[in-house]
Structure 1
């Protein structure tokens, strides 16, 4: 190692008093490093070129902390230009956003969060890779077909914005070079993603009975949930462009509001939400209750326990909630674990869908309605933004909703003595809504039921120097759509499970100020989409990492890490799997396969 590398580390005795305790800045890679997140390819034949491509932005971001420090545009966290749509002569059915980034300099700000918007509609939220002595680079390719109504806009005044910011006010010599492009493919070249439009529609049709209302083929129209076809319009639920469009939520009392008036022809609505935690809230899932910090005279500021939930209300009525999946950025827990394969969602952060179709009776009426977002038990800070996808019929719609507030059960079990203790939180949230919509397609009844289960068990041992987390989030959504006679049109179920286990141990070593830090991270993502007993799409991604470091004060002296990841995706078009093994930052195994495993 050429020199002592500055890190921000704190023994587990005081892990929860300073947020940076689990953020280590370890810039030890000798050569320029390419980082990557495991996913499946969006294009079946990588040799097939797109029908056309459009370069949307090429820009260099430097110090993006304070917009008032300089008039130079390279020192602002956001850049906005006019959006360039695909040429009208380009024939395409699917769009892919490509976000490419390169970092120069060994001390750029770590864990920057970035977002991409068209006319205030968020298409991508991502974060930065770790710096290396010779720089680093990475790219994200995301299917954005569901944003077609925004992508195809021909208004010459439509804005295209990219935000890249951080709160780290030290070591601001790093520079990020960003290039954003859009590629357009025809249907013969594209491979569908789990969150994509249409998906295995042909396979889906073969495994369900479709009903037709007045010969309009409503079953075909509704297709796969929730983005069977792209929306006719998308309304951004967001803040001001100068703040990156996202709402910045500072505490549980901080409620962000906006007014919307939707088209009277709306027969379907889905709210897509982007959520990420930062600052004192980055490791919210590792937070003990206030009683523990106060009893041990630790610096309070986070506390409140390890439960957070994003709440969505319409005119004061709660219509949906999200317990967000923990995101581990590239310097999180132990930064050496994420070289070069990053954690789940680090580069392509997930969005969360709340079906508002049953609630159209609350949203229609040719008047403004208040949309409110807040974070239960939240602190500083959260970045939240949303897109409201709207589908239109040929005439005005009448809607009725049977509204019942979602129910919730929460149980806390805290036991501790001194710095040792066990803290367990269990949350169960259930909701059910039925909405009747009368449109040019006839009468359609939509019933959406959802169950969310959250369990977090946090254990402190050995005088607080050993910390263990066992957490699991499970979300099951059922949708049933019937006609006026009660005959089933479509019926489907989406199940998502996100387990996370973390163990971190800090022990003293020989010599003043020297200690060892050992970490284990086991992260998972399991998602399935089914109709009846037929699983149409399934995704499983498992991450298993271990690492240890010898630390002198705030400097990493030496260390070793392993990162093992297994990714498997299956749909009606086939299968894709990838297995990656990383030792000491070097990829020692990388296998891909298209063989389906039963």
Structure 2
């Protein structure tokens, strides 16, 4: 760390200042193949995202299905690479892990990628930026929730990864995809971490009685719905594109709405929509976008004072389209009515802000972007009429471009061909306030938004009569400040999302209560300084975190994942010529059965510390 800060001080002292400077907006870069601090790495380096291990990591899989091996070179503009999917024969399994192994060597941009099965997205991911010596990484995700798809024959598995290879960008992404099937009941399979079981929850009612119409699942005096609540859906319907450009919708602006017609089976007793989203182009750093009025002043100012051949000026000219303010929200609608929304976690891709931050530890969510669930059960009263309903996705205040799709998870009553449902009440509220004050290229922009939704609906099925109430309270606050004639920028954002789901019997007894609280604090500071030979330098600091507390029935869990990065780089035409960076990350997860923590420190591409702990502090 002392070496890094000494380099930072020397940078500030030696860079020649010019009388004219321009505002800097968060941008995207590639790394020229240089060895930081003359380190000589002969073999490929492993990159990774810090997260807790999956329950079956290290265990022997009951069945293994290597399904896809492909080199993504000149794939830009081509359809996804697809192969047929058949589950392994004579394989008994209860859990499934998706494993993606990737490698690359040379120089290349980071790329967004996704994998779909039968048109339903299983994972959204991105690549790391390679080096001349080569890099590799592995992504593992528990995909048990997609069991209804994974058990089907003759589906199409598709992977989209658009890449360009030429004389400059030489990196080819080599990708292997494997499914690992585990039987939690097998004697030779021992999970690394504990799995939820019927003994874990307050109730011990077994799942085999779920569809027995003579023995209702829901007991009016004590909860037994919690096991069913965590059970994978019986049917998954994609809300996605069906073209040659991938199964995601490409949303170009705030009025761009993409829809799919869906007919819901009339014996559906629970519905959840799962949203996948990533942001690119002028909205890759949406949380740092100033309003359009500021961009107009900056553009006019640039046109009057800047030599268009200057690399420093060209950098700012490219980023001048990144406006429209810093509020974004993905909206889900049914027949034009809002039924769910999410402000996504600000994932920073490995070429973002300073790519030297993300080696070998990538940013939070870069290898496994989060998906977001919205409970739609209270709306079944509108959907169980046998008619086709329009499910739509859009991005409030969005500009080009967003990649969004969704999966509709449905739970079906096997004991009946039709269930009854109705809506009891709905009370949505939304407020948005904007404040801006600037003079020239300096100023402050603040946005505060709050959305509160309460919806209640009832369902009568062979599982019992129950009412589902969903309440969500979302708070969004963003502040952007420019200093020093716009060359120094401070971004602060905080998103708080609280979601509660209550399920009660027909007699008013509480069956299940789930509560999820998420907080996404983000802070970014950047400063740009002009250099010689059409170069400029940037100093940046990033603090990005996710905090979550969750309660499902009698089970509680907490997650804290915090990342701090700082560094500098010398840039020409969006290519990093040299620089230095350090990243620290603290990850901790705890519930009633397990604890996991990991502390990682990296500097100039070298891992200095990696300490993980599985046992709880109170355990022996």
TM-score (norm 1): 0.88
Equivalent residue number for residue 546 of structure 2 = 525
- 1:468-479 counterparts in 2 under 5 A? 468-479=490-501
Aligned counterparts of 1:12 and 1:270: Cα–Cα separation in 2: 50
1:340 match: secondary structure: coil
Equivalent residue number for residue 14 of structure 2 = none
Equivalent residue number for residue 78 of structure 1 = 80
* Structure 2 CA distance for partners of 1:96 and 1:410, relative to 1, 3 Å: same
Equivalent residue number for residue 570 of structure 2 = 550
- Which of residues 340, 344, 352 is equivalent to 1:320? 340
The answer to whether the aligner puts 1:13 opposite 2:22 as a matched pair is yes
- 1:452-467 counterparts in 2 under 5 A? 452-467=474-489
Aligned counterparts of 2:472 and 2:167: Cα–Cα separation in 1: 44
Shift of 1:327: 1.2
* Structure 2 CA distance for partners of 1:240 and 1:512, relative to 1, 3 Å: same
Shift of 1:293: 1.1
- Which of residues 383, 386, 391 is equivalent to 2:411? 391
* Structure 2 CA distance for partners of 1:86 and 1:241, relative to 1, 3 Å: farther
- 1:483-498 counterparts in 2 under 5 A? 483-498=505-520
The answer to whether the aligner puts 1:263 opposite 2:265 as a matched pair is yes
Deviation by residue 1:40-81 (Cα, 9 ceiling, x = unmatched) = 1113562x21111111111111112133xxxxxxxxx51111
Equivalent residue number for residue 430 of structure 2 = 408
* Structure 2 CA distance for partners of 1:330 and 1:224, relative to 1, 3 Å: farther
The answer to whether the aligner puts 1:37 opposite 2:49 as a matched pair is yes
Shift of 1:214: 7.0
* Structure 2 CA distance for partners of 1:553 and 1:165, relative to 1, 3 Å: closer
Aligned counterparts of 1:566 and 1:386: Cα–Cα separation in 2: 31
Task: Answer whether contact 1:27 1:130 (CA < 8 A) is retained.
Answer: no
- 1:154-553 counterparts in 2 under 5 A? 154=153, 156=154, 158-165=155-162, 171-187=168-184, 189-190=190-191, 199=196, 202-205=199-202, 215-218=215-218, 222-223=225-226, 228-297=230-299, 301-393=321-413, 394-395=415-416, 396-404=418-426, 406-509=428-531, 511=532, 513-530=534-551, 536-551=556-571
Aligned counterparts of 2:246 and 2:337: Cα–Cα separation in 1: 27
Aligned counterparts of 1:269 and 1:316: Cα–Cα separation in 2: 18
Aligned counterparts of 1:587 and 1:439: Cα–Cα separation in 2: 55
Aligned counterparts of 1:222 and 1:361: Cα–Cα separation in 2: 20
1:303 match: secondary structure: coil
Aligned counterparts of 2:196 and 2:33: Cα–Cα separation in 1: 41
Aligned counterparts of 1:45 and 1:324: Cα–Cα separation in 2: 28
Cα RMSD of the aligned pairs, angstroms, is 2.6
Equivalent residue number for residue 33 of structure 2 = 27
Equivalent residue number for residue 90 of structure 1 = 91
2:264 match: secondary structure: coil
Task: Answer whether contact 1:200 1:571 (CA < 8 A) is retained.
Answer: no
Aligned counterparts of 1:12 and 1:218: Cα–Cα separation in 2: 67
Deviation by residue 1:417-471 (Cα, 9 ceiling, x = unmatched) = 1111111111111101001111112211000000111111111111111111111
- Bigger mean CA deviation after superposition, 121-130 or 393-402: 393-402
- Bigger mean CA deviation after superposition, 242-251 or 159-168: 159-168
Shift of 1:102: 1.2
The structure that has the greater radius of gyration is: 2
Aligned counterparts of 1:327 and 1:575: Cα–Cα separation in 2: 25
Q: Which has the higher contact order (CA 8 A, sep 6+)?
A: 2
Number of positions where the alignment pairs a residue of Structure 1 with one of Structure 2: 561
1:100 match: secondary structure: strand
Shift of 1:527: 1.4
Shift of 1:134: 2.1
Shift of 1:15: 2.9
Task: Answer whether contact 1:45 1:189 (CA < 8 A) is retained.
Answer: no
Runs of 4+ in 1 over 6 A off after TM superposition: 167-170
Task: Answer whether contact 1:446 1:480 (CA < 8 A) is retained.
Answer: yes
- Bigger mean CA deviation after superposition, 120-129 or 499-508: 499-508
The answer to whether the aligner puts 1:102 opposite 2:103 as a matched pair is yes
Aligned counterparts of 2:354 and 2:366: Cα–Cα separation in 1: 14
* Structure 2 CA distance for partners of 1:551 and 1:171, relative to 1, 3 Å: closer
Equivalent residue number for residue 133 of structure 1 = 132
- Structure 2: gaps of 5 or more residues: 1-19, 301-316
- Structure 1: gaps of 5 or more residues: 1-10, 68-76
Shift of 1:361: 1.1
Deviation by residue 1:260-286 (Cα, 9 ceiling, x = unmatched) = 001100000000010000111101111
1:63 match: secondary structure: coil
The answer to whether the aligner puts 1:65 opposite 2:68 as a matched pair is no
Shift of 1:587: 0.5
Aligned counterparts of 1:170 and 1:422: Cα–Cα separation in 2: 43
Deviation by residue 1:465-509 (Cα, 9 ceiling, x = unmatched) = 111111111111111100110011011201111111111111235
1:218 match: secondary structure: coil
Deviation by residue 1:352-406 (Cα, 9 ceiling, x = unmatched) = 0010001111211001001111111111110001000000112111110135352
- Bigger mean CA deviation after superposition, 159-168 or 339-348: 159-168
Shift of 1:128: 0.6
1:90 match: secondary structure: coil
Task: Answer whether contact 2:326 2:478 (CA < 8 A) is retained.
Answer: yes
* Structure 2 CA distance for partners of 1:92 and 1:436, relative to 1, 3 Å: same
